[in-house]
Structure 1
Amino acid sequence: MNGVTLTLRVLHHGEKHLARQLTAVAERHRTEHEVHHVATDLADWSRTHVQRLAATADRHGLDLGDSADTRLPGLLSTLREKASQAVVHRPEPGLLLLRDLRELHLGATENSLHWEMLAQAAQATKDDGLLDLASACHPATLRQMRWTNTMIKNLSPQILTSL
């Protein structure tokens, strides 16, 4: 396995993980409509990245296995929804939301670094397919980072001073 295939593997795993995290946060904070809807959309972006990475990896002789659905199973999703409704009236959900946004931001940041590494390797090896993949997917990851950062900036003052 060379560095490019290793980066493809790590990025595939990171995007799957981020898609699951975004889906879980969307369900956990269902009553926060902006968080719920935007996180759901951002999870779809990561799922698209997972599919594109798997297709590219195949062309590089790497089998990334099942690019299985990264949505939450039905029962787990239902439990998360009930839990989000139950905790909406307590002050702690704000802290939970900040923690979730921080974790999402760190995951997106890690993926962004891997997209950048992949793009640099693609340029060095003159691999137009890899460069096209990174050029198409990395901007969405940067938008995921900007959204989480903006949400943290907007919510932190109110949540942290109301405790």
Structure 2
Amino acid sequence: MNGITLSLRVLHRGEKHLARELQLVADRHRTDHEVHHVATDLARWSEEHALRLAQAAHDQGLDLDDSSGTSSGVLAELRRKAAEAVGHRPEPGLLLLRDLRALHLDATENSLHWEMLAQVAQATRNDALLTLASECHPQTLRQIRWTNTMIRNLSPQILASL
């Protein structure tokens, strides 16, 4: 395994993980419409990144599982019902802050891996991988900015109300 295949494998796993976590947060906080809709959109970005990484890995002779990792309809329905039940209790704000913090850290980790992939692509003069990183990394940075903005806006109100 060389540095490129290692980077592709780690980043693919990270993007799939982030897509799943974003969708879980969207389902868990369904009653908060902004969180639900934005997290769903951001999950699609990570799913697309994982698909593009799987194709790039295939071009490098590496076979990565390119399934989206979406959850079954039964589990999604259970999460929706749980979100409705929890939505009327005082703890959802703390849960949301915890979820946003975890998403922020996951997206930041992916951002670092995108940077490393771009650097190894540049060092090996792999224009296809450099283009991939240049197109996907800005969306990961946007995911980080969203989580940071949400934490900054929500934490004073949530924490002051405890």
Instruction: State the TM-score, normalizing by the size of structure 2.
Output: 0.99
Partner of 1:56: 56
Partner of 2:140: 141
Which range moved further: 83-92 or 10-19? 83-92
Partner of 1:8: 8
Instruction: Verify: 1:123 aligned to 2:130, yes or no.
Output: no
- Once the two structures are superposed, residues 3-44 of structure 1 have per-residue CA deviations (whole angstroms, 9 ceiling, x without a partner) of 110010000000000000000000000000000000000000
- 1:71 Cα shift? 1.9
- 1:89 Cα shift? 1.3
For residues 32-43 of structure 1, the aligned pairs below 5 Å read 32-43=32-43
Which range moved further: 68-77 or 1-10? 68-77
Partner of 1:155: 154
- Once the two structures are superposed, residues 90-127 of structure 1 have per-residue CA deviations (whole angstroms, 9 ceiling, x without a partner) of 11100000000000000000000000000011111111
- 1:88 Cα shift? 1.0
- Once the two structures are superposed, residues 52-94 of structure 1 have per-residue CA deviations (whole angstroms, 9 ceiling, x without a partner) of 00000001111112x1122221111001000110011111100
Q: Distance in 2 between matches of 1:59 and 1:72?
A: 28
Q: Identity across aligned pairs (percent)?
A: 72
Q: Distance in 1 between matches of 2:68 and 2:131?
A: 24
Any idea what SS the aligned residue of 2:61 has? coil
For residues 45-84 of structure 1, the aligned pairs below 5 Å read 45-65=45-65, 67-84=66-83
Q: Distance in 2 between matches of 1:8 and 1:2?
A: 10
Gaps of 5+ in 1: none
Partner of 1:114: 113
- 1:129 Cα shift? 0.4
- The two structures, once aligned, show a CA RMSD in angstroms of 0.6
Structure 1 ranges of 4+ moved more than 6 A: none
Q: Distance in 2 between matches of 1:88 and 1:45?
A: 27
Q: Distance in 2 between matches of 1:48 and 1:88?
A: 30
Gaps of 5+ in 2: none
Instruction: State the TM-score, normalizing by the size of structure 1.
Output: 0.98
Q: Distance in 2 between matches of 1:69 and 1:62?
A: 18
